[in-house]
Amino acid sequence: MVDSLVFENEVVKEILEKYRAIWAIGHAQALLSWDSETYMPRGGVEERAVARAELSLLAQKLILSPEFTQLVEKAEKVENLNDYERGVVRVLSREIRIMRAIPPRLLAELEKTTQEAMHAWRAAKETDDFNKFKPYLEKIVKLTREKADCLGWKDHPYDALLDLYEEGLTTRDVDNILTPLTSELKSILEKVEAEGRYPRKHPLEDVKYERAWMEAVNSEVLKLLGYPLGERARLDVSAHPFTIEIGLDDVRITTRYEGFDFKRSLLSTVHEFGHATYELQIDPALKYTPIATGVSLGVHEGQSRFWENIVGRSREFVQLVYPVLKKHLPFIEKYTPEDVYLYFNVVRPSLIRTEADEVTYNLHIALRARLEKLMLTGEVKVGDLPELWNNYMEELLGVRPGRHSEGVLQDIHWSMGSIGYFPTYTLGNIVAAQMMYAMEREVGLREKVAKGDFSAIKEWQKNRVHRFGSTYPPKELLKRALGGEYNVEYLLKYLREKYLSH
């Protein structure tokens, strides 16, 4: 079942045949993960945690088996591999290094702890009681620091964790991005507020809707975008919207329905569509291989942020979907397309990251990155996080949470053990802006959105980024696709052009 036109080397072919069992475990793990977030009853958490821990151990055992690692080591010495074959060897060599570094005991303990912690986090958030989550987070931080030490790091333990989500990313990289970005964003925010071109508040934020109305909107917009619902994709509901690739022909997204402020549900759906499109457009010849997935979270986030912000919040997109909104949301007839555009682009310092506007969003990331670094070095205790979170929010955004659910408990990531994940959101915003300028120059992005010609946009993404999966490391892929690595100046240029008068 290995594609001989893409994979020609006999050693790599043998590796991929043996990899099939490891792929199958990952396939099952993805399905179990999706079910945990959507349909699993709460009582199933203990058995699910044990099952996933055992599957993780089984995958580790298979990937570290001498016959498998020896094949990969043999392939590393072959000089005439093509790009796809080199990608397979790079990804597996990296995975073997990581798996060898983490003791099975630690891997199982992290899996079990995070499965339990996710449910504790939900209960803590619902009751606004940080103490329900505190012992789980303390254990996660302890285990994660141990994990970082096992993986190895030079300048900061954060380096080891960042690299797990964004191959090659370091603490220095993150600081070099977030430090100047934070300063510039605060300046842009001040000017936006002074000019008053974009509202701080819009009446549509408080208008209630029936779930059935928004289900119809999301379904029709996804159809307009070309999302293959029912064929290769699903849309479900979860507490925290996400995308999961179970296979190249089975990609699932979720959204949420809060009953008011309909843009939250719509833009979340468009955001997850961006993630799903990446996975759905990977070259089918890579199926069942370790490179048949998005290369990194930063590049992945670039795809979703592009669709949510660059496309979804544009005047052209609002004009295009306005008839859909008017058809299913009775209250929209009171508002013009320009009203809806301004509603989509309200700018104000807010408490919740997922609801933040384009100008302030990355300030939320700067806060989380700062706390994660301090947690890992032990400079901050878990019990101090709520107060520190609130203080940093006030410093960066001028607002202070009144409840833990609006502050330290708002994100699911730490309960999942995903420390080091947050900076990839900012990388995604940068990549989205870089893609926008390249696409506007090469295919006339705005015109394509205005016409609803999303196939041309997706084709550009497919040819430049998506089809390669994880063949190339993130920075190399960006150089090939966009002519350079992460460049914060594109994001700042985009924000200034859109939100400030000239």
- Angstrom CA distances, 230 to 24, 111, 219, 251, 459, stand at 22, 31, 11, 10, 21
- CB atoms closer than 10 angstroms to residue 259: 11
How far is Cα 28 from Cα 33, in angstroms, rounded to an integer?
9
- 250-255 and 243-247 as β-strands: parallel, antiparallel, unpaired? antiparallel
27 known ligand binder = no
Positive or negative CA dihedral for 49, 51, 57, 63?
negative
DSSP assignments along 274-335, one per residue: HHHHHHHTS-GGGTTSTTSS-S-HHHHHHHHHIIIIIITTSHHHHHHHHHHHHHH-GGGGGS
Catalytic residue among 111, 272, 279, 358: 272
355 known ligand binder = no
Q: Which two tokens stand for residue 192?
A: 């936006």
301 known ligand binder = yes
How far is Cα 184 from Cα 164, in angstroms, rounded to an integer?
28
Q: Which residues pair with 253 in a beta bridge?
A: 235, 243
Q: Which residues pair with 251 in a beta bridge?
A: 233, 245
- Answer whether 278's CB lies under 8 Å from 404's CB: no
Determine whether 487 is exposed, middle or buried from the number of CB atoms within 10 Å of its CB (0-12, 13-18, 19+).
middle
- Catalytic annotation present for 308: no
Catalytic residues: 272
Binding-site annotation: residue ranges: 271, 275, 301
Binding-site annotation: residue ranges for Zn(2+): 271, 275, 301
